[in-house]
């Protein structure tokens, strides 16, 4: 039996995050937090085909799907309402945290 990890935004660590703390995060910290919020099971999933096999393009902070019929490149915001915007990830995290009423 696998125990499903609790969604990040409902976890204790998210409840202690204030907006002030979010805006003090470095871009790398924001990225890690957004990644954890998006994929609470811990592994990025290709939004195109649902595949969990990919390699990470470190300089672009993107993943490239290894599925031979897909090969889609995706970012931490691909397939979300934030994908077409270019604001810092901390702004999106602040929006997410605000939405659920901390």
Could you list the residues that contact Zn ion (CB under 5 A)?
46, 48-49, 51, 65, 67, 70, 72
**Rounded least distance, CB 4 to Zn ion, Å:** 22
State the nearest-atom distance from the C-beta of 70 to Zn ion, in Å.
3
Are the CB atoms for 9 and 96 separated by under 8 Å? yes
Residue (29 or 67) nearer to Zn ion, CB: 67
Nearest residue (CB) to Zn ion, 25 versus 45: 45
3-state secondary structure 20-58: HHHHHCCHHHHHHHHHHHHCCCCCCCCCCCCCCCEEEEC
Q: Cβ of residue 38: shortest distance to Zn ion, in angstroms?
A: 16
Closer residue to Zn ion, CB minimum distance, 19 or 57: 57
Range 48-53, long-range pairs (CB < 8 A, 24+ positions): 48/72, 48/74, 48/79
Q: How far apart are CA 54 and CA 71, in angstroms?
A: 9
Cβ proximity to Zn ion, 46 vs 97, nearer residue: 46
Q: How far is the CB of 35 from Zn ion (least distance, A)?
A: 17
């Amino acid at each position: 039996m696998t125990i499903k990890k609790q969604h990040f935004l409902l976890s204790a660590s998210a409840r202690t995050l204030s907006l002030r703390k979010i805006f003090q995060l470095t871009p790398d910290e924001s990225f890690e937090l957004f990644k954890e919020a998006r994929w609470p099971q811990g592994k990025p999933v290709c939004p195109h085909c649902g595949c969990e096999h990919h390699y990470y393009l470190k300089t672009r902070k993107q993943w490239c799907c290894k599925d031979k019929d897909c090969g889609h490149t995706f970012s931490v915001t691909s397939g979300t309402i934030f994908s077409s915007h270019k604001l810092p990830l901390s702004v999106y995290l602040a929006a997410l945290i605000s939405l659920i009423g901390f």
